[in-house]
Structure 1
């Protein structure tokens, strides 16, 4: 346990050791468009616009050049601590002066050429392609974390070739006893999880950060940036528990810094954290709740503050929908038990309606931004992603007080629109010159974009044709978004479809699964320390009636991949 003192107040930073444990580990249990004419809105979203170079929204609005955030010198600093100094260091220049082994330099080059642009996605280019390199130039812990992330990302992008999905399923009985020996799952060694090169540099990053944090004047941003990179490392390793431990550590530091005593230095630090770092932790909280984690603090944004009257940029719309989803998921999780106990109060319904109104306000603001601004084609694609998020939140919120899983059938239009937007994104990513769009290039993203929303469609939309379109998109996407792997999501959604459709006589959508056949909830447990491709699933259904006991059973699922032997890519 490391002790970190930010603005005079000590805080605990429970950074775990990077070296692999020999015990098994599982994750904790998980639990419309623009106002006016609907078709006109979708057409507007799909319209192509001239591309423009993305810029930092905050700096663009003030007319100044942005070169990232000021990170104070590590030692013997005699400058005014309140002065903000620019560090105009280009990533290429950073790489030129770095010393290291050939493997380390290749990992850094991959981070620069592929990882940082991918992590930037639609909104965070300034953070990943500029700020991270600037800080790494003066902070060895950040440099070592970059090496680890770049190496693991290159292993993922170039070291494996997904095959057509092969599922190995072992079903537990109600007593929780495997019907086949567990050793049958150990044939896939978790090489990425225990990779020697990655663990060496991950361990160095943690050790260097611990040394750095012994300095009471160490910038808060260094600890927060390290937490973000450590989360990326654990996402790439597929390890849930340490990923969210790092997230919670960083969030506690960020929130404590925002409430620090007022001073000129504190004001500058607070502004940098609030604008540059805290949005990452809000999005990490969303990923954590989607993977079954419970919120442990009061959300710092109210429902009223979450949606402004208008958006100046698509990034503002992204931050706003993240707030709405975090607030909405808190309510959804609270209602999970109450609805099955038939204990939904009028105040609950009023709260649900209040969140729904703010979602409508968000739609209106996004629609106005799209219709009144000549935004780029890239921003239009970003708007499609945000619209998918809004549609899923609308469905989830609208059904969270209903005991019957059939309640989701009332949202077929929303399901279909979400899948159509996903298909448009897939086509745009492949380019429009080919007759048949190719799959997305294999990649790793820090944020949620399409994988978990399409997974939601795959498990909660019971129209056979729509859900199969969602599953097909997941198969073609070939990416990991945080801990959500598209192949994992496709395999689980496909398995649930098989379970639910067993009594259907046709799959043309003219009939839907009966309530008794539906899987109400699926808990996903990663088994990264046994096999990087193994998951344990626990299903919940109500086959004997909504007021009867739950039926629960467990399955293990393995996704098989081919490892390409390419020694020149391994260090």
Structure 2
């Protein structure tokens, strides 16, 4: 029986266009009536949280809910109603809260409902609407309730709300505002069940009497949208219900739509990015609908092969849409991670599952992850991507573990399409996410996926992805470009509340794909790699204007080895930029750096330390001291797990690498957070901060006290003579002082007095970064002379270390063979004399951090004595004891957690004395194992902590004065071997010099005639032992 289609008046003036366009006679209009709402006083927030949630919806959620469709419903109607209608207000607050939870990384699942705030407001809206007979209000709330159920993962409740709304529309008069803004939404909602497997139990009632009339031309985007949505819905109903008589009419209408859409495109200005993006979505709907409508009832899967060109067109269009999407995201504020409306996801998924051209479907899979937000209504990009990827592997008998981009870039004209017997005709997805809680408290998620095939007899059989369930973490992202999409990166951010008191800003996510980058350092072998640089920002709750930026370098999925590496800074910088970050990529790890909340990755601590003269920014101290690196590692480890879908049962190993200030930062984590890192490669740490920074001024005070300022050439000559004299003390002449302890005991500096020196004029800045801050050497004249007794006395006292006026040891200093950076002098061209050159690091420490003046150095050292230096050391030690001193010697918790540390220090370091590291090692040994004898305690410490002094090594690298010394280039790899395979290093391998064996402390190097042995020498060890008797408490 044919049913006459009900035609509703569109109230066009002077005659109804819907009637006149169909040949009907318009019966005219009833008297115009005005829609009148009871409007109580405007609602206001009951508390601060409600106010914030409403503001969040207004600014962040509402504007993006509509996706590429008309946003008026969300940005105007909903907002207007929420100001005076309590039920709408409650629903908006629930949506705002749930949206924000999802945007911050929370999973959408019925078993883990949203916050009590969201659920409370949702329940309040339901209770209040129950007593309402206002159908127009109920219609509006139906849409809001559907959105809430989307964000709670309840597909059936969402469909039930939709069903209820359609019934109301079909059985009541529909005012113009509802026809214009609500009907299009319900029409698009009616399409969704067809992408859920076409199960009839999920079908929604048909909308009766709401078909739009085809205009002569589309006057705007909304008109074109309404018509293609209607055509898609009618086409899917036609095919699923087997009504072939309507196919011809619908095909004609689809052709007309395409012609009119092309004309509409010509009238859209290039600047209208959102309209162009919307049209791409409509044209994809048109292409998919055209293919779907032609499908015969008895079609096999090979029937789709005749539409390969159409599928190719869809992918090319998706590429343009993806480019437009990225442009739109740059100008659109805010960015979106969820939209209420169905967009590109199910359309691209249709191409992935029905197009059997490998190159085309693989590209479709790639754009599925790039062309829209992470979630569109019920459709989740992560699920569709993983299912599509697995389907391609099953049907083509390939593995995409090496990435999908290779297939995209290496197209071939003739492809072997999989036979019918290997194809899957349907893939029902259970969209409800199941939460699995393990006994250890960890949580993972499963979603059921059925891969349906027919055998040669036509019988259906089901294949599962992984047993009876599909784990959301079962398959890694396919390629580097996949994980480098902003959508994917956002979906992988640590969940909201992952770190208490920290809020991640998902809209701050930036990704950059870097190809064939080269890395070169003495800390790792030269290498090149492709990587994705992912950055985002977070803030600390309750702190105004607080923004911390972190950057993570991500290796390709095929290179990832379940590892994370944090890298440290140097000088007053909390990060070293790219200096160490490449080391993580080399070992298959995600590598992270932080800006500490200082404003940018290039901003150093001194720039933010003072709020004003005399006023400390203590948050910066806290972050620089240890907290920033703690947060960097926590976020980085979780990000690595999420990016590469590492199962909860699998371990992500975590490591640290840093030298100098970076070394201190590493120890700050090991001492405080026992399970933060599994292993650490630490070099020349700037711990014992109160002493270390003031100690840079020791050489200056020696010279000023002696009133003798050695010329640079005189200092260089003393250094070279020392190296020459002490080179052979290890049994081999190689230009390296491997035994600075024997040099200290046996070399008489007085033997150099009277030796002539000569240097040509030179111009030097002293070196970049840390070196420039520590010592700036201006132009120097040509120099000739002989080494004086005064110079030797200065250097002898320099090596002896700081003592107070009563002869008590205050601090240690550099080993013989080290450069005299802290004793450097400057030449005054006007007076032609040598004078004081105040150490940059030491001068700034005292001026800025102790005296709290916004200046980078001291004006002079007048009246500064050795006792003054001691006082400054004690003052700084006490003032920053809990943040910067970083010498806590009890590492029992770290040891119990199974952590390992390899600690290296250049024996000829001219910035941080090698003895500083030896003293800390001995402090750990004596504090942790007080009842053991020396050898037993060394063995006990060696179980988790090993120290290596690098012969001839300078500060954090090889030494230009002793170039044959080299540096251990694979320290991080050695730590990894120790942690993951239990291979503890007895020695380290040197690189870039003649020293290939670096001994483990307390063993010392000695040439046997054929090889370098590591021997025990008590007398030498004693020379490294210091009693800091100037302090009343132990100095670890």
Corresponding residue number in structure 2 for 1:123 = 69
Distance 1:246 1:302, change over 3 A: closer
Counterpart for residue 111 of structure 1: 57
SS of the aligned residue for 1:520 comes to coil
Please show how residues 141-160 of structure 1 align to structure 2 within 5 Å. 141-160=87-106
Q: Does residue 541 of the first structure (1) align with residue 453 of the second (2)? A: yes
1:210 aligns with 2:125: no
Q: Which residue of 2 aligns with 1:324?
A: 231
> Where does the alignment leave 5 or more consecutive residues of structure 2 unmatched?
1-9, 15-30, 401-405, 437-443, 474-491, 505-540, 542-1036
2:454 and 2:181 map into 1 onto residues whose CA distance is 46
**Displacement after TM superposition at 1:251 (Å):** 0.9
> 8 Å contact 1:500–1:517 — kept in the other structure?
yes
Out of 216, 231, 236, the residue aligned to residue 146 of structure 2 is 231
Quote how far apart the aligned CAs of 1:120 are.
3.2
Aligned to 2:338: 444
CA distance, structure 1, for counterparts of residue 329 and residue 141 of structure 2: 41
CA contact 1:159–1:566 (8 Å) conserved in 2: no
Deviation at 1:156, TM superposition (A): 0.9
Residues 380 and 414 (structure 1), Cα distance of their counterparts in 2 relative to 1, 3 Å cut: same
Closer/same/farther in 2, CA of residues 242 and 500 from structure 1, 3 Å limit: same
Q: Distance in 1 between matches of 2:258 and 2:32?
A: 43
Q: Among residues 332, 335, 359, which one is paired with 2:254 in the alignment?
A: 359
- 2:251 & 2:172 partners in 1: Cα distance? 32
Contact 2:87 2:124 in 1 (8 A): yes
Deviation for aligned residue 1:273: 2.2
Going from structure 1 to structure 2, the CA distance change for 1:189 and 1:152 (only over 3 Å counts) comes to closer
In 1: Cα distance, 2:207 partner to 2:78 partner: 27
Q: Tell me the residue number matched to 2:44.
A: 98
Asked whether the 8 Å contact 2:190–2:204 carries over to 1, the reply is: no
2:61 match: secondary structure: helix
Q: Which whole-Å deviations, capped at 9, do the CAs of 1:88-125 have from their partners, x for residues lacking one?
A: 99xxx97xx62233332222121111111101333322
Q: Deviations over 1:62-81 (max 9, x none)?
A: 9xxxxxxxxxxxxxxxxx99
In the alignment, structure 1 residue 272 sits paired with structure 2 residue 163: no
Q: How many residues align?
A: 433
Q: Decide whether the 8 Å contact of 1:193 with 1:529 is kept in 2.
A: no
Q: Offset at 1:432?
A: 9.3
Find the aligned partners of 1:433 and 1:139 in 2 and give their Cα distance.
Answer: 33
Q: Which residue of 1 aligns with 2:396?
A: 501
Cα deviation digits, residues 297-333 of structure 1 (max 9, x gap) = 3442588x55333211111010001111110111221
| 1:385-410 alpha-carbon deviations (Å, 9 max, x no partner) | 10011111112222343522111111
Q: Map 1:124-273; keep pairs closer than 5 Å.
A: 124-160=70-106, 192-193=112-113, 195-211=115-131, 213=132, 216=133, 218=134, 220-258=135-173, 270-273=175-178
Q: Is the 8 A contact 1:108 1:147 kept in 2?
A: yes
Paired residue secondary structure (1:540):
strand
Query: Could you say if the C-alpha distance between residues 272 and 533 of structure 1 is closer, same or farther in structure 2, counting changes exceeding 3 Å?
Result: farther
Q: Does 1:550 align with 2:460?
A: yes
State whether structure 2 residue 468 is matched by structure 1 residue 563. no
Return the TM-score normalized by structure 2: 0.39
* CA deviation string 1:495-521 (max 9, x = no partner): 111111117999655211111100001
Q: TM-score, normalised by structure 1?
A: 0.68
Distance in 1, Cα, partners of 2:253 & 2:152: 37
8 Å CA contact retained: 2:304, 2:354:
yes
- Residues 520 and 475 of structure 1, relative CA distance in 2, 3 Å threshold: same
- CA offset at residue 528 of structure 1? 3.3
By relative contact order (CA 8 Å, sep 6+), the higher-ranking structure is 1
Higher mean C-alpha displacement, 417-426 vs 496-505: 496-505
Q: 2:280 aligns with which of 365, 384, 389?
A: 384
Question: Could you tell me whether the CA contact under 8 Å between 2:61 and 2:96 is conserved in 1?
Answer: yes
Question: Could you list the per-position Cα deviations for residues 29-69 of structure 1 after superposition, in whole angstroms to 9, with x for gaps in the alignment?
Answer: xxxxxxxxxxxxxxxxxxxxxxxxxxxxx9xx99xxxxxxx
Contact 1:504 1:513 in 2 (8 A): no
| Structure 2 Cα separation of the partners of residues 451 and 133 of structure 1 | 28
Counterparts of 2:216 and 2:309, CA distance in 1? 27
Change (3 A) 1:151 1:100: same
**2: distance between equivalents of 1:98 and 1:491?**
44
> Over residues 275-303 of structure 1, what are the superposed CA-to-partner deviations in whole Å (9 max), with x where a residue is unaligned?
22111111111113322353453442588
Tell me the equivalent position of 1:460: 354
**Equivalent position of 1:474 in the other structure:** 368
1:395 alignment partner, one of 265, 284, 291: 291
Q: What do the CA deviations read for 1:205-235 (whole angstroms, capped 9, x no partner)?
A: 1111113x1xx4x3x2210111100000111
For the Cα contact (< 8 Å) 1:504–1:511, is it kept in 2?
no
Distance 1:400 1:147, change over 3 A: farther
Greater per-residue helix proportion? 1
* Residue 418 (structure 1) aligns with: 314
The verdict on how the C-alpha distance between 1:221 and 1:88 changes in structure 2, with shifts beyond 3 A counting, is: closer
Shift of the 530–306 alpha-carbon distance from structure 1 to 2, 3 Å rule, reads farther
Please give the alpha-carbon distance, in whole angstroms, between the structure 2 residues aligned to 1:231 and 1:203: 14
**Pair 1:277–1:522, CA change in 2 (3 A):** same
Question: C-alpha separation between the residues in 2 aligned to 1:533 and 1:368?
Answer: 47
Name the CA shift for 1:486/1:296 in 2 (closer, same or farther; >3 Å).
closer
Change (3 A) 1:504 1:511: farther
Pick from 308, 321, 330: which aligns with 2:215?
308
The residue matched to 1:159 in structure 2 has which SS? Answer: coil
Please identify, of 407-416 and 320-329, the stretch whose mean Cα deviation from structure 2 is larger.
407-416
Q: Is the 8 A contact 1:313 1:369 kept in 2?
A: yes
**Cα 1:302/1:208, change in 2 over 3 Å:** closer
Contact 2:232 2:289 in 1 (8 A): yes
Alignment partners' CA distance in 1, 2:179 and 2:237: 22
Structure 1 counterpart of 2:427, from 507, 519, 522:
522
Q: Aligned in 2, Cα 1:402/1:359: closer, same or farther, shift over 3 Å?
A: farther
Give the distance between the partners of 2:83 and 2:104, measured in 1 at CA: 27
Residues 302 and 401 of structure 1, relative CA distance in 2, 3 Å threshold: farther
> Structure 1's 148 and 400: CA in aligned 2 closer, same or farther, altered over 3 A?
farther
CA deviations over 1:465-520 (Å, ceiling 9, x no partner) = 11111212223344211101111111111111111111799965521111110000
What is the rounded CA distance, in whole Å, between the counterparts of 1:441 and 1:501 in structure 2?
37
Are the equivalent residues in 2 in contact too, given 1:306–1:323 (CA < 8 A)? no
State whether residues 68 and 343 of structure 2, in contact with CA within 8 Å, keep that contact through their aligned partners in structure 1: no
Q: CA, structure 1 residues 116+142, in 2 after alignment: closer, same or farther (shift >3 Å)?
A: same
SS in 2 for 1:523: coil
Structure 1 residues 238 and 504: CA distance shift in structure 2, 3 A: closer
Change (3 A) 1:88 1:309: farther
CA offset at residue 153 of structure 1? Answer: 0.6
Structure 2 SS opposite 1:521: coil
| Distance change (3 Å), C-alpha of 1:410 and 1:301 | farther
The structure with more radius of gyration: 2
SS of residue paired to 2:425:
strand
Supply the RMSD in Å over aligned alpha carbons.
3.7
Instruction: Work out whether residues 193 and 528 of structure 1, in 8 Å CA contact, stay in contact via their aligned partners in 2.
Output: no
